[in-house]
Amino acid sequence: MPKKLTTILVPVISVILGLLVGAIVMLVSGYDPVEGYLALWEGIFGDVYTLGGTVRQITPYVLAGLAVAFAFRTGLFNIGVEGQLIMGWLAAAYVGYAFDLPAIIHLPLAILAAAVAGALWAFIPGLLKAKLQVHEVIVTIMMNYIALHVSNAIIKSLTDGGEKTPAIHESASLRSAFLDNLTEYSRMHYGFVIALIMVVIMWFILERTKRGFELKAVGFNQNASEYAGMNVNKNIILAMVISGAFAGLAGAMEALGTFGNVSVIGGFTGIGFDGIAVALLGANAPLGVLLGATLFGSLKFGALNMPNVGIPVEIVSIIIALVIFFVASGYIIRVFLERMSKKKEAK
């Protein structure tokens, strides 16, 4: 079986299997799976409002997925996307309300602030990995908690003990009257354009630039990279920083698009962790991440409609988790497909 076909077939089969097992779960719990999945479908594609919501949900997933995938491709496991995203969210929201600038400067500045904040947050584990060989997984996990609480503390101190920052100025917003009208106030915003551009940028960095060549080489084999005259430490740090910038941008989507501010939160947003699943779904390729995020975001958003037909949110969460589970165990499906094709060849 051609490799390309397997790469596409594996996630498709995974999703179908996930939905099948999800149907069984619904049946066993006494709900009608047909009705449930119809509600899911309606929740995703029902009307312009839900479509707008779906796109809005997908946007940060694309960026979080790119962040994880970029790190993967360069030999790093960035579990810190969540923390980098929170810092990006905070930075964008702050720049969004604290400055008063013309939109042409304000919006790019706020977006840039988010990218820089995410990048800086990722720089620390990158530096520790490069200089002291501290494993990035441990550092990034801890940095997530630090980000969560630092962000909460800063919000409180900025607002004298308040729960959320003031709304960003219009000039820093990704929202638009046009999109609001088109999608009946779904909160959909222009962030999806940024996400699409970033998909192209990630592809370009990895597949076309000299830097991408080095980042990948260092990710695969540090010794050979050093032998070939590459600066291994610099490349490790840079890989983390670029990954963090993508994560920070995901935060900007929430700050400048969806919410228009940043609030004190009790726990993680989950987008950063879901980014890992998205990257896996997309086989760490930019276009794959886009598709993975689309699936993931659609399921997440569409599932919100399932309680409307009486299916509890817990069951909905289980179904989403099942889909991801089957994707993550795509290895099993891959092995199965290979066996099948081998048998065919033997015949």
CB of 343 to another protein, least distance (A): 12
State yes or no: residue 225 binds another protein (CB under 8 A). yes
State yes or no: residue 216 binds another protein (CB under 8 A). yes
Centroid of chain to Cα 268: 13
State yes or no: residue 203 binds another protein (CB under 8 A). no
The CB density around residue 189, as the number of other CB atoms within 10 Å, is 24
Those residues whose C-beta lies under 8 Å from the C-beta of residue 175, and which sit 6 or more positions away, are 187, 189, 190, 257, 260
Which region, judged by CB under 8 A, interacts with another protein, from 108-116, 214-222, 268-276, 277-285? 214-222
- Report CA-CA distances (Å) from 203 to 43, 232, 260, 311: 31, 21, 30, 40
CA dihedral for 265, 307, 271, 166, sign (positive or negative): negative
Contact with another protein (CB under 8 A): which of 224, 287, 321, 335? 224
State yes or no: residue 133 binds another protein (CB under 8 A). no
Distance CA 327, CA 331 (A): 8
Distance CA 52, CA 14 (A): 26
Which region, judged by CB under 8 A, interacts with another protein, from 129-137, 154-162, 223-231, 238-246? 223-231
Which region, judged by CB under 8 A, interacts with another protein, from 7-15, 56-64, 128-136, 203-211? 203-211
State yes or no: residue 209 binds another protein (CB under 8 A). yes
CB of 111 to another protein, least distance (A): 23
Tokens in use for 45?
């594609």
State yes or no: residue 234 binds another protein (CB under 8 A). no
Q: Which of 58, 55, 60 is nearest to 247 (CA)?
A: 60
Q: CB of 237 within 8 A of CB of 126?
A: yes
Which region, judged by CB under 8 A, interacts with another protein, from 42-50, 147-155, 215-223, 278-286? 215-223
State yes or no: residue 77 binds another protein (CB under 8 A). no
CB of 229 to another protein, least distance (A): 3
Tokens in use for 317?
């969460």
Q: Angle 66-245-63 (CA atoms, 0-180°, nearest 5)?
A: 30
State yes or no: residue 340 binds another protein (CB under 8 A). no
CB of 277 to another protein, least distance (A): 23
Nearer to another protein by C-beta: 212 or 248? 212
Interface with another protein by CB under 8 A: which residues? 208-214, 216-217, 220-221, 223-230, 342, 345
